Structure 1
Amino acid sequence: MPSIERVDESVRSTSAVLRTFLEHLAEMHGRCTADTIATTELTLSQVRMLLVLRQKCEAISVNCLADEVGLSLAAAGRGVDRLVGIELVDRREDATDRRVKRLSLTDKGTELLDKQFALKDDDLKDMVTRLPTEVRARLHDALSDALIHLSPEKVTS
């Protein structure tokens, strides 16, 4: 069984390499992402709201959205008003409680996010293409193994 010092050093060194790798990705593509999001004329909070709505399987309340993005109910409400106004978010009355408004992405909102993520996919494919085949295979295996332990439902082939 490995000693605690070795495990700690392994955790430290792997964390450092992973952080450096992620910083490299962010540096390579951060400017591009900021530029493409800037063209949408959305605030960072509004983009975060869209991302939260994208990952939810069902419509959520404004309260829930405010909690998810760390905004006050008033600030979230203003952001939602803008997103509804530009037809990225749909707001409907709850079927059981008309006082509650339920939010979901519209097709236009989904299309906007899909377009943004498609740009990222192309950037990642370009980066991965530059890796030698054997490095690419090891990276794929290592990331797949990590996902199995961290989030098995997200593992793809």
Structure 2
Amino acid sequence: MTDDVMGFLSHLKKSGEAHILGVARGLDLSFSQLRAMFVLADCQEELAVHELAEHLGLSMATAGRAVQALTRAGMVTRREDEQDRRVKRVSLSEHGRELVAGFVHAHHAAVRECVESLSDREREQLSEALAPILARGDQPTTSTAC
């Protein structure tokens, strides 16, 4: 069963790569920078750079360089903390939010294409198989979300 689920997820991943690469085309972003953008997109509030580093499992220096590059690219805004001017607070800019939304849309499009390739009966069976899992609601994950 594990192999079946992994095979299905692998199929989704492969079918989505073209969509995702289309969104990323022309961007000169590192994996750490992309991860930082997704963490910031999940956060409801600004993060201090050291908090972002913790979420990403990166050193403060590496996170700081990622934030600096994202700020130059106009994808992140950075400001001094009101309580401690040594602390820099960061959040996604509107441009950064649009980019992340594009990635999310690309993921949705890939899944939609996969589901549309199924027969009516296969879609029904997939829906029935997923229903009890989804009915459990939010489960704790190892997500880097805030």
TM-score, with structure 2 as normaliser: 0.84
Q: Which of 130, 133, 138 is the aligned partner of 1:146?
A: 133
C-alpha offsets along residues 14-36 of structure 1, whole Å, 9 cap, x if unaligned?
x2211111111122223542454
Aligned-pair identity (%)? 33
1:50 has 2:30 as partner: no
| AA partner of residue 118 (structure 1) | H
Corresponding residue number in structure 2 for 1:99: 86
TM-score, with structure 1 as normaliser: 0.79
Gaps of 5+ in 2: 140-146
Gaps of 5+ in 1: 1-12, 153-157
Aligned in 2, Cα 1:67/1:86: closer, same or farther, shift over 3 Å? same
Aligned in 2, Cα 1:38/1:69: closer, same or farther, shift over 3 Å? farther
Corresponding residue number in structure 2 for 1:4: none
CA distance in 2, matches of 1:39, 1:115: 14
Runs of 4+ in 1 over 3 A off after TM superposition: none
Aligned in 2, Cα 1:89/1:144: closer, same or farther, shift over 3 Å? farther
Q: Which has the higher helix share?
A: 1
Corresponding residue number in structure 2 for 1:27: 14
| AA partner of residue 53 (structure 1) | L
Higher relative contact order (CA 8 A, sep 6+): 2
Structure index of larger Rg:
1
1:88 has 2:75 as partner: yes
